[in-house]
Amino acid sequence: MENKLQARSGASRVLVIFGPPGSGKGTQAKLLRDLLKIPHISTGDMLRAHISQGDGLGVDAGSWMRSGRLVPDATVDRLVEERLALPDCAAGAILDGYPRTVDQARSLWAVLQRSGMSQLVIHLKVDYNKVIVRIAGRRQCPQCGLLYNLVANPPKEAGICDRDGQALAIRDDDRESVVRERLETYERQTRPVLEFLTASGWNICEVEGDDASPSEILVRIQDCMVSQ
Ligand code: ADP
């Protein structure tokens, strides 16, 4: 299965992991990265890296993110275009959290056309009530970015990252009021992206994302990928 998938993604394919906050995009993106050996590009992580560096982009992005709103398109488009141009993306990449608006999808399409990369969207479908419960239990390692879930995927030792022993943290924007705002933002700005991608003929895999373990969902994604 792995070789078959690698062979198919060998011709520089960008995988777009698409779904609402808490749908498991980050978890699946990391599993796919390990499987396919192509970079995982999370716009949320890139923006958070700028926030920790305290640079101008980070200060600006932080004010949008803390209130659950989207960072302006131009900022994110430039980050992604520059990242996809790096040599480690020559064999493809996994986009997590991008595109999130129709304009971002147009910008990505133009970048793919210019670079000759193909695309496949993986849409993780979930029930919002399950998403809210799932996000409430989410913890992240501030050091390596690894995600845990107190119910579905707990660390071996409570509150501690398995990989590097750091104390796990709750992300500022994982608090319940902000999660509701993020789900509303998703409905308003991001769900129309899926309609746009469908109407514009992007390749899309529909995957049920809330009734199985991360490894079972990964198998569903792989099954869909080989058929594309
Ligand atoms: P989630 O997918 O769970 O919302 P992310 O880490 O992907 O978490 O995103 C966190 C926040 O970062 C978003 O709520 C938004 O403010 C900002 N962000 C991430 N990706 C984008 C994007 N493509 N466009 C605009 N803002 C973004």
Q: What is the pLDDT of residue 36?
A: 95
Among the ranges given (105-109, 171-175, 221-225), the one the predictor scored with the smallest mean pLDDT? 171-175
Tokens of 221: 């994604």
- Rounded distance from Cα 26 to ligand 1 centre (Å): 11
Q: What is the pLDDT of residue 11?
A: 65
Q: What is the pLDDT of residue 60?
A: 94
Q: Among 143, 45, 30, 154, which residue's Cα sits nearest to residue 97?
A: 45
For the range 174-177, what are the long-range contacts, defined as Cβ-Cβ under 8 Å and sequence gap of 24 or more? Answer: 174/135, 174/136, 174/138, 176/132, 176/136
Tokens of 212: 């199985």
Percent of the chain past pLDDT 70, that is, above it, reads: 95
Ligand 1 atom index nearest CA of 65: 16
Q: What is the pLDDT of residue 210?
A: 85
**Which mutation among 47, 66, 182 tests ligand 1's pocket best, with the greatest number of atoms within 8 A of CB?**
47
**Active site members:** 25, 100, 138, 171, 182
Indicate if the pLDDT at residue 127 is higher than 50: yes
Distance between CA atoms of residues 138 and 130, nearest Å? 13
Q: What is the pLDDT of residue 173?
A: 78
Could you tell me the domains of the chain? 2-227 (3.40.50.300)
